[in-house]
Amino acid sequence: MNSDVRSGWSKLLKPFRGAPLGWRLRLAVIVLMVATIATVWITNRLLTDRFTESTRNRAELRLALYSGNLLSELRRNSIVPQLLARDPTLISALQSRDYSLSTQRLISFVEEIGAASLMLLDGDGRTVAATDRNRLGEAHRNIPYFVDAIRSNATIFSVIPKESGGYSFVYSRRLENSAEILGVIVVEVDLQKFEQAWAGISDAVMVTDSTGTIILSTEPRWRGLDEGAALLRQPPQGAIQRAIRATTDWTALPPDAYLQGEAVMRLETRIPFRGWQMTSFTTYASIREKVNSVLALEIMGFAILLALAFYALSRRATLRMTLFQRESAELRALNARLQREIAERERVEKTLDLAEQTLAQSSKLAALGEMSAAVSHELNQPLAAMKTYLAGARLLLRRNRPEEALASFGRIDGLIERMGAITRQLKSYARKGADAFSPVNLGEALASALSMMEPQLRQRHVKITQILPEEPVVVMGDRMRIEQVMVNLLRNALDATKSVAEPDVEIILAAGDTAVLTVRDNGHGIEDIENLFEPFYTTKQPGDGVGLGLAISSGIVNDHGGRLTARNGQYGGAVFEMQLPALGSDGLEAAE
């Protein structure tokens, strides 16, 4: 201790020098205890009020955000029945009673709309088309959303209890033509997704209708009850469990409920939709943690002061310590330091082992994620083609044309074999060693790829222009993987021409020392060429692609010793070129 500190302590303790050591010690302890209690009490009161207000403001902001999102979803879906009720395709299907394409049309709408499901009911209340095919043929004649829609010329909103628990939220509107009622379009709104989002926080949230019945809640046991009955049930696990046990009448809780021993605050807001209300219950656990951390620092500071006071009062006795005691203290300190260093070394070794294990597991999970994404992307095209062939086969069987239907089934069988080859090929990525390549005729591979894309080409009415050489163009490679690249390039060309009035795709196959396949479209071109071949980069809407097609295609071409390039055409559109080493006549004879 330096001279300034010694001088300060001497002035502080000057009044007590004539008093006995025990009396001075007791007086110092009493003064520090009183100061500690007063400071802790004031700090607890001020910080509790401050953190309570902050927690309340955040809870009110969350409640406003939740209610706004819920109202936005309801209003967005309310216009859907009115639009679908004017759809000429659905009206024509109800008039002709030909619903073969109605379900597919509803399925094409549901992803863009974001609704839970769509159903088309005929005049007798029977489901004739639905995004959920399991509901085809169901009778809805006595259900309110059908009865009310038939009677009214406006869009009807209904809340229907489910047998499995919870509620369905449905918009319905009748379809008519020249004052003739043809049927009813039913749009189910997906509000359960908000319950799942709300459940990820420490609040409990519920929505009640105009009668006070809980129709949405983070706690499934509350649905269908009023607020009082719901809170008497067995509470859920987690932070709200303490709140439910400690509270019987939420409406009677004052703003400073925590200071009175309660555990939650209750907030509610009105949703401007059919008298709905939203209520949230927020715990005070975070407030107590923040306040306790500050109080702990204060108590620790007073403890240090108390220790210093004891040290100052006993410094005379400390000066009388013998050299032996000092050396013993130094030895104990050295021993403790060595023990800490040993413990630190052991802790670092354990941390290193854990980090290595975590890194290995992360690598496995990353590889698994990439493999799953690749399988999903590569199987999407055959599945889409199988779906189209099945629809065509079903229509042919209905028209009593079994021979043509058998041809469609044969194509489906070929697609199944292709899917099996794709999965075997993806599994081979984990193995070392080169693939077993064989001579591949690019013209035949292109014809196979176009055959696979036939349903999409026929549906889109795309003009396909092929410029092929008279002599076969042969390369050394894996035909399945080369066809995979061709299908990806053709599919990207079709996607690029979706918004073009007269879509046109030009395919040029040229041969020399290098075999070059060029795919040119008349779309809007490429915006970001630099990131085009990066994994998971895509310009498509969510659900239309994962951004792996060009990345996988580029990897396949590189594995074959070639190169996949892209550029914007001189007169618009995008141009993709696949360049592979050509196999000459000498190389072909050697391969054979």
Q: What is the DSSP string of 241-304?
A: HHHHHH-S-GGG--TTTGGGT--EEEEEEEETTTTEEEEEEEESHHHHHHHHHHHHHHHHHHHH
Average pLDDT, the chain: 76
**Mean of the pLDDT values across residues 216-238?**
73
In angstroms, the CA 216 to CA 191 distance is 8
- Using left for φ > 0, alpha for ψ between -120 and 50, and beta otherwise, residue 491 falls in alpha
Length of the chain: 592
CA neighbor of 455 nearest in space, from 503, 512, 389: 389
pLDDT > 60? residue 247: no
Which residue intervals of 428-535 are DSSP H helices?
442-452, 454-460, 479-496
pLDDT at position 265, please? Answer: 74
Instruction: Determine the Cα–Cα distance for residues 30 and 24; give it in Å rounded to an integer.
Output: 10
Spatial separation of the C-alpha atoms in residues 51 and 293, rounded to whole Å: 13
Is the pLDDT at 434 greater than 50? The verdict is: no
Residue 93 token pair: 């299907």
SS3 for 461-480, per residue?
CCEEEEECCCCCCEEEECHH
pLDDT tier, 573 (very low <50, low <70, confident <90, very high otherwise): confident
Q: Scanning the structure block, which residue is given the tokens 């100052």?
A: 312
Residues 6+ apart with CB under 8 A from 346: none
Q: What percent of the chain has pLDDT over 70?
A: 75
Are 577 and 564 a contacting pair, CB within 8 Å? yes
| pLDDT above 70: residue 202 | no
**Window from 175-189, 400-414, 427-441, 479-493 with minimum mean pLDDT:** 427-441
CA 104 to chain centre: 26
Query: Can you give the pLDDT at residue 184?
Result: 92
Residue 542's pLDDT band (boundaries 50, 70, 90)? low
The whole-number pLDDT of residue 185 equals 92
Per-residue pLDDT at 513 exceeds 70:
yes
- Say if CB 279 and CB 268 are below 8 A apart: yes
Locate all alpha helices (DSSP H) within 180-247, ordered by sequence: 192-198, 227-231, 239-246
At residue 592, what is the residue type? E
Contact (Cβ atoms closer than 8 angstroms) between residue 421 and residue 385: no
Q: In this model, does residue 258 exceed pLDDT 60?
A: no
Which two three-digit tokens encode residue 14? 């000057």
**Token couple for 176:** 């008519």
**pLDDT number for residue 559:** 87
